[in-house]
């Protein structure tokens, strides 16, 4: 027998409609690229998003076409989140940390029709523009007064505020099928080419419900949420959608992500919940060093993207009385997978034991299932000892990469490329990574890309790039090289060879010359052995 309940599709625009109707006067505060602080309310956001939706239609963006953004966390970016997805187009957030060539590849692969960009990225747009054909127009996310002159771009450059001013705020959000694509985010994976994850309205709204729950990111109307995690990296962990769903005040930090700027913003806006990668929090903790109880309002910080060190958890909790919520996720998971929220029996553990729990990546909320498997694909026990490949499935897990021929799933499960163990309480802890990538300050560097450049050097016989632990960036690339016989190649010279071939921050920090590299039976480099030997290189200098 069929249930007799209303059929209302789960749509991104309905989050905005709810926020406008039920939390209309709640504030959204942004530090602008122009340097000042901007404030408005959800009802202003909704009005401007409708104007922008009309503008997108005016630009000829058809349903399903991609709207690119190259922007920091700010209100204009937020307007695009809702205007692009809500009107039936696909929001495509571009990562400005990528090299020009990678950006051009992604823009063409996604066929972005228009790209909105923050003024800080004008030079990047100027470099990318000659290499792309898909975009028909660029939009600078600023007002007329700040519009760049003589930009030299091959296609028209419009002004965000002009688009808003010129269009009506009367717009009916279309009643889309909830499985329609809503946004797109590329992840620099293990292959040299980034892969696109295409979210749907349904997966986004279900993720929003689940991520807001108390045992998840725990967000409520009375919270003031500061996503430091970029809106170009997996939708800022879904926090813009969550804030709209629960009606929380949203604080968007713009480009100023240093400890001092973040601290001032947290205090001025009385932030209660913040979210970001460990590298960002190191800067913040360094700034408040010696200021016991520095935070007058912040109750909780969500730390993920890389393992949260216990010293960081202790510093926040003991010195500043800010609870740490350690979380694990992936672009392919929208991103929330597991969150380390205590079960009741864990509350009575000793401080040390509780830290040991908090070092784990946590347990899944309803909507995500996980398992670990051994070498033959057999499921391993949750005994806190057996470590195996971590696989997940759920309502907001990708089943196929955008425009890719490669299958993404293994018998219905998504292989994460992380290696983990799970304890009897169901808490997952990442112990290793089977994917060959380096995560530096929350952003990916492809080992293959670094190795390919090294091989272009005529005096290099073998080149292997591994992730080495780093006190500030969590991981940095280390290049191990076998030189041609009699070569006098010096490390600095080889590092200089990378200039203009990869993004500056992706260059290895050091080169170590070795006699040979260990090879397995099939001739594959045994990176694990090299990792065992060299992973502490940046900590110990050897
Ligand atoms: P991304 O798709 O860029 O968000 O990266 C996802 C990957 O980052 C995961 O597969 C892990 O390798 C890593 N990661 C994310 N969160 C954590 C965490 N809390 N601890 C350890 N690694 C993490």
Please state whether beta strands 460-470 and 368-373 pair in parallel, antiparallel, or not at all (unpaired): unpaired
| Strands of 460-470's sheet in order across | 460-470, 474-483, 510-513
Separation of CA 359 and ligand 1 centre (Å): 14
Separation of CA 370 and ligand 1 centre (Å): 15
In a domain? residue 371: yes
Exactly one of 69, 93, 142, 187 is catalytic; which is it? Answer: 187
Pair 408, 485 in one domain: no
Separation of CA 307 and ligand 1 centre (Å): 8
In a domain? residue 98: yes
Q: What SS3 state is found at 134? A: coil
In a domain? residue 496: yes
In a domain? residue 346: no
DSSP type of residue 270: T
Separation of CA 473 and ligand 1 centre (Å): 14
Domain boundary among the residues 182, 213, 244 is at 213
Active site includes 180? no
Active site includes 65? no
Domain boundary among the residues 170, 198, 213 is at 213
Pair 166, 97 in one domain: yes
For the stretch 11-53, pLDDT in tens is: 999 999 999 999 999 999 999 998 899 999 999 999 999 999 9
For the stretch 441-489, pLDDT in tens is: 988 888 888 998 998 899 998 999 999 999 999 999 999 999 999 999 9
* Pairwise CA distance, residues 542 & 540, whole Å: 6
Q: Is the separation of the CB atoms in 512 and 537 below 8 Å?
A: yes
User: Which CATH number goes with the domain that contains 123?
Assistant: 3.40.50.12780
In a domain? residue 305: no
Pair 52, 157 in one domain: yes
Q: What SS3 state is found at 440? A: strand
What is the full DSSP assignment across 391-435? EEEETTS-SS-TT--S---BTTBEEEEEEEEE-TT--EEEEEE-S
Pair 468, 395 in one domain: no
Other C-beta atoms closer than 10 Å to the C-beta of 155 total 13
In a domain? residue 402: yes
pLDDT in tens, the chain (542 residues): 999 999 999 999 999 999 999 999 999 999 999 889 999 999 999 999 999 999 999 999 999 999 999 999 999 999 999 999 999 999 999 999 988 999 999 999 999 999 999 999 999 999 999 999 999 999 999 999 999 988 899 999 999 999 999 999 999 999 999 999 999 999 975 556 889 999 999 999 999 999 999 999 999 999 999 999 999 999 999 999 999 999 999 999 999 999 999 999 999 999 999 999 999 999 999 999 988 789 999 999 999 999 999 999 999 999 999 999 999 999 999 999 999 999 999 999 999 999 999 999 999 999 999 999 998 999 999 999 999 999 999 999 999 999 999 899 999 999 999 999 999 999 999 998 888 889 999 888 888 889 989 988 999 989 999 999 999 999 999 999 999 999 999 999 999 999 988 889 999 999 999 999 888 766 678 888 898 899 999 998 87
In a domain? residue 348: no
Positive or negative CA dihedral for 70, 76, 81, 84? negative
In a domain? residue 467: yes
Pair 394, 534 in one domain: no
* Pairwise CA distance, residues 415 & 435, whole Å: 10
Pair 82, 129 in one domain: yes
Active site includes 187? yes
Exactly one of 178, 332, 443, 475 is catalytic; which is it? Answer: 332
Q: Among 111, 341, 383, 355, which residue's Cα sits nearest to residue 218?
A: 341
Helix (H) or strand (E) holding 84: helix 75-86
Bridge partners (DSSP) of residue 301 are 274, 324
Pair 402, 499 in one domain: no
Separation of CA 306 and ligand 1 centre (Å): 5
Q: What SS3 state is found at 116? A: strand
Pair 428, 456 in one domain: no
Verify whether ligand 1 is closer than 6 Å to residue 234 (CB atom): yes
* Pairwise CA distance, residues 471 & 309, whole Å: 10
Pair 383, 455 in one domain: no
Which pLDDT value is given to residue 520? 72
User: Which CATH number goes with the domain that contains 422?
Assistant: 2.30.38.10
What is the full DSSP assignment across 496-507? HTTTTTS-GGGS
Examine residue 364 and say whether the peptide bond preceding it is cis (omega within 30 degrees of 0): no
Q: Is 406 exposed, middle or buried (0-12, 13-18, 19+ CB in 10 A)?
A: exposed
Pair 426, 454 in one domain: no
Separation of CA 512 and ligand 1 centre (Å): 27
Which pLDDT value is given to residue 525? 82
* Pairwise CA distance, residues 119 & 76, whole Å: 12
What is the total count of domains within the chain?
Answer: 3
Verify whether ligand 1 is closer than 6 Å to residue 185 (CB atom): no
Verify whether ligand 1 is closer than 6 Å to residue 301 (CB atom): no
Exactly one of 444, 473, 475, 483 is catalytic; which is it? Answer: 444
Question: What's the distance, CA 125 to chain centroid?
Answer: 21
Best mutation site among 190, 239, 278, 418 for ligand 1 pocket (most ligand atoms within 8 Å of CB)? 418
Question: What's the distance, CA 398 to chain centroid?
Answer: 15
Other C-beta atoms closer than 10 Å to the C-beta of 318 total 11
Q: What SS3 state is found at 31? A: strand
Domain boundary among the residues 198, 213, 228 is at 213
Verify whether ligand 1 is closer than 6 Å to residue 187 (CB atom): yes
Pair 89, 166 in one domain: yes
Residue-number span of the structural domain to which 91 is assigned = 12-24+35-213
Active site includes 332? yes
User: Which CATH number goes with the domain that contains 457?
Assistant: 3.30.300.30
Pair 420, 447 in one domain: no
Which pLDDT value is given to residue 190? 53
Q: Is the separation of the CB atoms in 12 and 238 below 8 Å?
A: no
Verify whether ligand 1 is closer than 6 Å to residue 527 (CB atom): no
Query: Which residue intervals of 276-411 are DSSP H helices?
Result: 278-287, 310-314, 320, 351-358
């Amino acid at each position: 027998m069929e249930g007799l309940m209303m059929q209302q599709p789960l749509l991104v625009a309905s989050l905005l409609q709810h926020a406008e109707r039920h939390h209309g006067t709640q504030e959204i505060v942004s530090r602008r690229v122009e340097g000042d602080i901007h404030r408005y309310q959800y009802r202003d956001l909704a009005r401007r998003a409708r104007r922008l939706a009309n503008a997108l239609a005016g630009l000829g963006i058809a349903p399903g076409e991609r709207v690119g953004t190259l922007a920091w966390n700010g209100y204009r970016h937020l307007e695009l989140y809702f205007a692009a997805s809500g009107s039936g187009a696909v929001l495509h957030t571009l990562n400005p940390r990528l090299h020009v060539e990678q950006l051009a590849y992604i823009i063409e692969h996604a066929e972005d029709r228009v790209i909105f960009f923050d003024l800080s990225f004008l030079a990047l747009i100027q470099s990318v523009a000659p290499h792309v054909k898909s975009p028909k127009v660029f939009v600078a996310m600023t007002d007329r007064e700040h519009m760049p002159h003589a930009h030299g771009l091959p296609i028209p450059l419009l002004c965000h505020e002009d688009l808003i001013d010129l269009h009506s705020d009367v717009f009916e959000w279309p009643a889309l099928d909830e499985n329609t694509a809503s946004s797109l985010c590329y992840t620099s994976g293990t292959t040299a080419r980034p892969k696109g994850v295409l979210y749907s309205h349904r997966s986004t709204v279900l993720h929003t419900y689940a991520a807001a729950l108390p045992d998840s990111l725990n967000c409520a109307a009375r919270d003031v949420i500061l996503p430091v995690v970029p809106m170009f990296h997996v939708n800022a962990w879904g926090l813009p959608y969550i804030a709209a769903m629960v009606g929380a005040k949203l604080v968007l930090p713009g480009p100023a992500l240093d400890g001092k700027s973040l601290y001032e913003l947290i205090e001025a806006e009385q932030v209660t919940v913040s979210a970001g990668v460990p590298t960002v929090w190191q800067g913040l903790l360094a700034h408040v060093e010696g200021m016991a109880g520095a935070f007058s309002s912040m109750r909780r910080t969500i730390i993920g993207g890389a393992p949260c060190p216990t010293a960081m958890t202790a510093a926040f909790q003991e010195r500043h009385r800010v609870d740490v919520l350690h979380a694990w996720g992936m672009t392919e998971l929208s991103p929330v997978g597991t969150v380390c929220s205590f079960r009741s029996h864990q509350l009575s553990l000793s401080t040390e034991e509780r830290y040991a729990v908090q070092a784990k990546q946590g347990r899944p909320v309803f909507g995500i299932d996980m398992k670990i498997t051994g070498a033959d694909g057999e499921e391993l026990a949750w005994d806190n000892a057996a470590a195996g490949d971590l696989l997940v499935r759920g309502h907001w897990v990708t089943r196929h990469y955008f425009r890719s021929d490669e299958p993404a799933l293994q018998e219905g499960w998504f292989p994460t490329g992380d290696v983990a163990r799970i304890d009897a309480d169901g808490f997952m802890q990442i112990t290793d990574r089977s994917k060959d990538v380096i995560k530096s300050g929350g952003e990916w560097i492809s080992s293959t890309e670094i190795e390919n450049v090294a091989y272009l050097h005529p005096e290099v016989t073998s080149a292997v790039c591994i992730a080495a632990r780093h006190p500030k960036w969590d991981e940095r690339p280390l290049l191990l090289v076998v030189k041609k016989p009699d070569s006098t190649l010096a490390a600095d010279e080889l590092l200089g060879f990378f200039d203009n071939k990869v993004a500056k921050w992706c260059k290895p920090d050091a080169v170590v010359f070795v006699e040979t590299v260990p090879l397995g039976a099939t001739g594959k480099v045994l990176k694990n052995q090299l990792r065992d030997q060299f992973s502490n290189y940046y900590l110990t200098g050897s």
